[in-house]
Amino acid sequence: MATITIMDPVTRIEGHMRVDVTIDQVDGQSRVVDARSTGTLFRGFETLLKGRDPWDAPIITERICGVCPVSHGMAAVKALDAAGGVVPPTDARVLRNLVLGANFLQSHILHFYLLASLDYVHGPASAPWTPAWDVDMRPGLEGVGGHLVQAIEARRRAHEMGAIFGGRMPSPHTYIPGGFTSVPRANLINDFQGHLNWLADFIRNIYIPDVEALSTVYSDYFSIGQGCRELLAYGVFDLDDTADSNQLLRGGIAKAGSTPTDVTAFNSNSITESVKYSWYDDATDNLSPSSGATNPVDPQDKVTAYSWLKAPRYENRPFEVGPLARMWVNGDYQDGISVMDRHLARAYETLKIAEAMNDWLHELTPGAKVYDNYGIPKEASGIGLTEAPRGALGHWVAVREKKIEHYQIITPTCWNASPRDSNEVMGPLEQALVGIPVENPEQPIEALRVIHSFDPCLSCAVHMMRPDGEPIVLSAGPLMKVG
């Protein structure tokens, strides 16, 4: 008989997520036969931006999340640069890249050591790591557990490095339309270099070997959690000063099994968001974010829906986004799509970015111009497409009478953890869960490994809670109700 396991909240992610999986016998083995991914809080940022001065957009949207604020700042200024027809000066582009790169490094290291690795190795024998589940934890990975404390230092250093040019971390205030607010100076470049050298050593000598060791011990996870097998990247880290710049990690779409030559360009006009299974007004189903709306409904009035996340689709199909998508589209990693491929691609991407940051640092000219006079257009629109650590991030803005008239944000976790769409097609994470074996429905570690491989951030995807809503039970470890 089928068992429904409810993980609410899913822990070791950012934000509030619930995942329900139905487990049944398939060919004599317990497997997930259905999955539902739910964002349990409403995010109202698009609504509160309406009517504001466009200069507020990077400052406010950076508050969406403390883990990837820099990406939101970057997306907002790119949207406003586009609306104003401005390309920032060279050193502003480089500084934007360096602070964003620092944010990627801290996020990827955080994800592996503090969020994901504890699905595979026991944490220290003290709270909050105990009590732990009695699940398949294989020997041979003591090094990974032993690097937890160093990983915290790595994360601190990456934050400090970003704050050198960002002024503060998280939520730097240096991203402005037309450029950047801090200026490259020789002593700052030196300080940045010191942290970067330390971090590059950590990534090369500790992080990557640890992920490779994990992928050897848990090699069965190369065939678990494939998902929708279509990948999307917008591209990130502009390498020249044109509106259509070359990028360190280029954008494109790819299908599983494709080779680099099969990667094709994407067209942002093909992006829509379905709300059939989301708590939003049905009249806004399948709209482009350029004309989309955020009109929440009372969940009691739409009982067929099950998430505050909308369901972004490209040509009406779900796409996985994230480090694996970026590395695949860029031709850097095309070994496969699975739980372990996601971890490996994320680790290799971390090194690729750190090495590129070293080159960018040398491109800075102390005292160089970092800002071109930016005038808010009276009436214009712009799209800011970039990448956050977790995948493709887009901001869509329209300005009228010099105020924000329209703002829509599609975050990476909306792509990956989306609910079903109006074609009844599941989101990528839901698809990745269906079919996986589960040894013990009361401790479904296999499902958590799949979920964590996407590094979901529900803070980015949804925000705010109803004071009169259902109580949310918080716990130090994953909480299960089995019914």
Let me know: does 207 contact 347? Beta carbons within 8 Å. Answer: yes
Binding mask 1-20 for ligand NFE (x = CB under 6 A): -------------x------
Query: Which of positions 267-296 make contact with ligand NFE (CB under 6 A)?
Result: none
Let me know: does 396 contact 79? Beta carbons within 8 Å. Answer: yes
Contacts of 15 (CB under 8 A, 6+ apart): 39, 41, 65, 413, 456, 457, 458, 459, 460, 461, 462
Query: Which of positions 390-429 make contact with ligand NFE (CB under 6 A)?
Result: 390, 393, 411-413
Let me know: does 416 contact 440? Beta carbons within 8 Å. Answer: no
- Shorter beta-carbon distance to ligand NFE: residue 65 or 249: 65
Smallest distance from ligand NFE to CB 367, Å: 33
The conformation of residue 427, written as its DSSP 8-state character, comes to P
- Shorter beta-carbon distance to ligand NFE: residue 71 or 226: 71
- Shorter beta-carbon distance to ligand NFE: residue 5 or 411: 411
Site stretch for ligand NFE (CB under 6 A), options 61-69, 77-85, 87-95, 200-208: 61-69
Question: Quick check: helix, strand or coil at residue 137?
Answer: coil
- Shorter beta-carbon distance to ligand NFE: residue 18 or 31: 18
359 burial via Cβ count (<10 Å: 0-12, 13-18, 19+): exposed
Smallest distance from ligand NFE to CB 321, Å: 9
Query: Which of positions 443-462 make contact with ligand NFE (CB under 6 A)?
Result: 457, 459-461
Q: Read off the tokens for 311.
A: 């369901």
Within 10 angstroms of residue 483's Cβ, the number of other Cβ atoms is 8
- Shorter beta-carbon distance to ligand NFE: residue 5 or 40: 40
Single out the residue of 80, 388, 448, 450 in contact with ligand NFE (rule: CB under 6 A). Answer: 388
Smallest distance from ligand NFE to CB 64, Å: 7
Binding mask 141-180 for ligand NFE (x = CB under 6 A): ----------------------------------------
Let me know: does 405 contact 50? Beta carbons within 8 Å. Answer: yes
How far apart, in whole angstroms, are the C-alpha atoms of residue 319 and residue 360? 31
185, amino acid identity = R
Which residues here bind ligand NFE, judged by CB under 6 A?
14, 65, 67-68, 71, 388-390, 393, 411-413, 457, 459-461
